[in-house]
Structure 1
Amino acid sequence: MTDAHAIGAPEWQRARLHVVTGKGGTGKTTAASALALALASGSGTPRRVLLAEVEGRQGISQTFDVPPLGTDETRIARTRSGGEILGLSVDAKAALLEYLQLFYKLGRAGKLLEKFGAIDFATTIAPGVRDVLLIGRLYEANRRRRDGRHRGASPAAYDAIVMDAPPTGRIGRFLSVNSEVADLARVGPIHSQAESITDLLESEQTLVHIVTLLEEMPVQETLEAVRELRSKDLRVGLIFVNMVRDPLLDDVALEQARTGRLHKPSISSQLADAGVTATPELVDGLLEEAYDHAHRVDLETEQLALLEETGLPLVILPALPEGVDSGSVRELADILLDELEEVGLAR
């Protein structure tokens, strides 16, 4: 099923800023990390990707098993093709101090403001300004060239930027930086920067990806986020369907399980063959688990159909039985790259 809002290969290939959101607990940081690795290794030539978080949770450092990230861009991984991933934890206070120095040349005065609590006050009392500062740090990284300047013939400092963004419940407001600061700063540098950031977010350079699970609440929140983002002229890219498990039973057994027609003697016989004593309680327990599993598969099928109705590309990521670490994230990146190539979105 196609949709007028769906992102095709040309649009995907022009994107430089990839915003990753999702309901809490869906594996947003894992998907963002896998996407960064895929982008760094998917072009056939080594690429440089910035992976940044804006919530201060240090999820990226835990995923890659590196020391906690700071406000400086630090290399956290390399791909087999020679690509490079740099990590960053964007901090509103540090961004505001940089901002004051850049626009107002406050220098030591900025440090005094921090000492007297003015920086905390500014980033707490005006959340819209805080979001401008957080996104503004990545806006600057997107503009920066390899020689450190923001203009000129030098190549871009990064081939792509991946933002591990706030969850879907806050993502619309977080990305609506211009309207959020309109009543706070109608003119001046903050207003100008908010407008420039909005231009970037609404341009073909930016895609917003959503991570979900095949469960009712995450899927419902995903569908609501898709509608909200589209209403704000923000371009939705991929839906990552995370932690997907294959059914434990084939189609025939699933139908028998959901209708209560699994053959007890057959189950008892198979348990005996495996050296397990097939007590009536054990067999009844297995039948109940099979029934629950069949209905779980039905629910996941229904939720997948709802996601397909968005017309957006779905990327299926399997559950990781051993948990998430740097090695397993690389496995997910390979799966992601293969899926992007299948739908014509890989570079």
Structure 2
Amino acid sequence: MVSGKGGTGKTTVAAALALALADEGRRTLLVEVEGRQGIAQLFETEALPYAERRIAIGPGGGEVFALAIDAEQALLDYLQMFYKLGGAGRALRRIGAIDFATTVAPGLRDVLLTGKVCEAVRRRGKDGADWAYDAVVLDAPPTGRVARFLGVNHEVAGLARVGPIHHQAQAVMRVLTSPETAVHLVTLLEEMPVQETADGVAELRAAELPVGAVVVNMVRAAERLDIPLPERDPGLAAALGRAGLRGATRLAGPLLAQGREYAQRLALERAQRAELAGLGRPVRELPLLGEGADLAGLYRLARRLREFDWAGGA
């Protein structure tokens, strides 16, 4: 599962991770639950239906399938699976009862979404011997609500002591808390995203949910700047003039100001890296895509992700 503060590129990282996992014939399912069709945009394809559809081939030749989960349709599946209400369920949808239920009870919506994801995780392939997918990647809600989103089934299992709802909720929580599951958090080297990442790690641990790696996204290539930059021009204009640069006097001040801003940026990034290192989780860095997060950029990030050690949520 991939979460992160809005604007950190969590959907891009989730998509790249799915590509990275589609290696040597492996089948990976990439799932979104927020209704934004962000996966379709990244892979430059039409809007995803409520059906698993192949959208890409991984760098190692495996397949990437995608699914956009619709809460209403997931509830219809649930009613049919446990109560055999196929026709009655469709009638409820026509009169708006399902939309009403998922709107007034947001916890129910989260139960349906996580339940559908876990159904894909537990599903067997056509021959029944192997799993349908070697890996499932969930583009999860933002860090601020991911612990609540993933932990809702624990609350439901406590409320419904018996029956299919109780057993379904327990089954979902077994998947979400298993050693094969990890919640990776995406951040930037900026104060607010790093603080939200730290809060997210604490909330996930408190909920006993498995915290994976911290992925630092959009990292700019940086050069070291070990010399102090003075507030005033210490002869820079004269040096630029001797080098034959026209307008040296006018340029010296702005150049020094830009250098100081760059030095401050490097200091901020060092401080944020130290904060992330203190979380006790592996930290992985992905480069800033200068041309934007297009399909070629996704494959570039996937190749970088394949170099990381992801064993045990790392």
Q: TM-score range by the shorter chain?
A: over 0.9
**% identical aligned pairs:** 51
Q: In 2, distance between residues paired with 1:317 and 1:258?
A: 33
TM-aligned CA deviation for residue 309 of structure 1: 1.1
Q: Residue in 2 aligned with 1:8?
A: none
Asked if residue 256 in structure 1 is aligned to residue 228 in structure 2, the reply is: yes
Instruction: For 1:1-347, list aligned pairs within 5 A.
Output: 19-41=1-23, 45-147=24-126, 152=128, 154-181=129-156, 185-247=160-222, 249-252=223-226, 255-257=227-229, 264-265=236-237, 268-269=240-241, 272=244, 277-340=246-309
Contact 2:15-2:30 at 8 Å conserved across structures: yes
Q: How many residues align?
A: 314
Contact 1:177-1:198 at 8 Å conserved across structures: no
Aligned AA for 1:268? Answer: L
Contact 2:2-2:138 at 8 Å conserved across structures: yes
Residue 146 and residue 266 in structure 1: after superposition, are their counterparts in 2 closer, same or farther (change >3 A)? farther
Contact 1:260-1:291 at 8 Å conserved across structures: no
Residue 36 and residue 260 in structure 1: after superposition, are their counterparts in 2 closer, same or farther (change >3 A)? farther
Contact 1:34-1:336 at 8 Å conserved across structures: yes
Q: Residue in 2 aligned with 1:16?
A: none
5+ residue gaps, structure 1, are 1-18
Point out which structure has higher relative CO (alpha carbons under 8 A, 6+ apart): 1
Aligned AA for 1:71? Answer: Y
Contact 1:267-1:283 at 8 Å conserved across structures: no
Residue by residue over 1:107-128, the C-alpha shift from the partner in whole angstroms, topping out at 9 and shown as x without a partner, is 2211110111110111111111
TM-score by length of 1: 0.85
Contact 1:142-1:158 at 8 Å conserved across structures: yes
Residue 40 and residue 300 in structure 1: after superposition, are their counterparts in 2 closer, same or farther (change >3 A)? same
CA RMSD of aligned residues (A): 2.3
Contact 2:154-2:170 at 8 Å conserved across structures: no
Q: In 2, distance between residues paired with 1:334 and 1:129?
A: 38
TM-aligned CA deviation for residue 203 of structure 1: 1.2
TM-aligned CA deviation for residue 190 of structure 1: 2.2
Q: Residue in 2 aligned with 1:15?
A: none
Contact 2:154-2:173 at 8 Å conserved across structures: no
Aligned AA for 1:181? Answer: V
Bigger shift: residues 160-169 or 101-110: 101-110
5+ residue gaps, structure 2, are none
